[in-house]
A = this chain, B = another copy of it.
Amino acid sequence: MIKVIVIGSGNVAQHLISAFLQSTEIELVQVYARSKSALQKFDGQIAVTSNLNQITQADLYLIAVSDDAIGSLSVQLPFEGRLVAHTSGSVSIDRIDSKNVPAVFYPLQTFSKNKPVDFRTIPICLETNPQDFPLLEKVARGISSHIYQLDSDQRKALHVAAVFVNNFTNHLYAIGHEICVDNGIPFDILKPLIRETAEKIMTLAPSDAQTGPAKRNDVSTIRKHLEFLSDDNQKNIYNLLTQSIQNGQKL
């Protein structure tokens, strides 16, 4: 069996640990965490060390820590010539100290604490040298069915795209929520629409799925909506996105 060690104890690390524990093809031999208490829920299921010098032998080391800590952690690893991947969407592969073999193992998903995810549906984006790629891919296929090979430039682009479709989209939900609350409307009314908006683009290109006053250039509705909005921030966002839809019919 391929041996994997996870370095880290945050959200991504914990979801990876759960996925590897369920995998029949990958052996999670050890986890390194500065503080063992973060991994209490895995008590008895995994070997945890908080001493870098006690990290044992494995085929792949996965550094799942905050972006800023990746570089210094990879420098501190007390071994050389082994395959070491970070799990970040926005950090270049070069951040892994070159005394080991640098790689990237980036699961593209929004992980919440305590909300279990079906890892098999999560896309994993991989990067390393051609020689070591098959091993990296084997580990990824052990926990997910959706594997992609992306270089660091593509991964950077993907991370920006993810900010638009995830972080910014969620903020639009928050604005919708605020408008509902301010007007005594249960937010539940919007939930089926939110779900259907996401489902629609599973089969349709987003530009083909576009509807609404901006798309059909319904000037009178747009004017009424802008009159309705009293919050300048909401008004600015309404204006900018309306203009973007109107100008960007090329999208």
A interface with B by C-beta (< 8 Å)? 67, 90, 108-110, 112, 115, 117, 121-123, 125, 146, 148, 150, 153-154, 156-180, 182-186, 188-202, 204-207, 209-215, 218, 221, 224-225, 228-229, 233, 236-238, 240-241, 244-245, 247-248, 251
- Decide if A202 touches B213 in the complex (CB within 8 Å): no
- Decide if A190 touches B240 in the complex (CB within 8 Å): no
Instruction: Name 18 A/B residue pairs within 8 A (Cβ), A-sorted.
Output: A123-B189, A125-B189, A146-B188, A156-B224, A157-B180, A160-B225, A161-B190, A163-B212, A164-B175, A165-B193, A166-B197, A167-B211, A168-B238, A169-B197, A173-B209, A174-B206, A177-B206, A233-B244
Min C-beta distance of A104 to chain B, whole Å? 14
Closest B residue by C-beta to A222: B163
- Decide if A213 touches B167 in the complex (CB within 8 Å): yes
- Decide if A201 touches B233 in the complex (CB within 8 Å): no
- Decide if B210 touches A194 in the complex (CB within 8 Å): no
CA distance A166 to B191 in the complex (A): 10
Min C-beta distance of A121 to chain B, whole Å? 5
- Decide if B158 touches A180 in the complex (CB within 8 Å): yes
CA distance A196 to B102 in the complex (A): 30
Q: Chain B contacts of A153 at CB under 8 A?
A: 183
Instruction: Determine the main DSSP class of A at the interface with B.
Output: helix
- Decide if A175 touches B251 in the complex (CB within 8 Å): yes
Q: Chain B contacts of A175 at CB under 8 A?
A: 161, 164, 244, 251
Which of these, B156, B162, B237, B241, contacts A228 with CB under 8 Å? B156
CA distance A82 to B44 in the complex (A): 72
- Decide if B183 touches A164 in the complex (CB within 8 Å): no
Min C-beta distance of A14 to chain B, whole Å? 15
Pairs A-B, 4 closest by C-beta atoms: A167-B212, A198-B198, A157-B183, A174-B206
Closest B residue by C-beta to A153: B183
- Decide if B172 touches A168 in the complex (CB within 8 Å): yes
Q: Chain B contacts of A210 at CB under 8 A?
A: 167, 170-171, 174
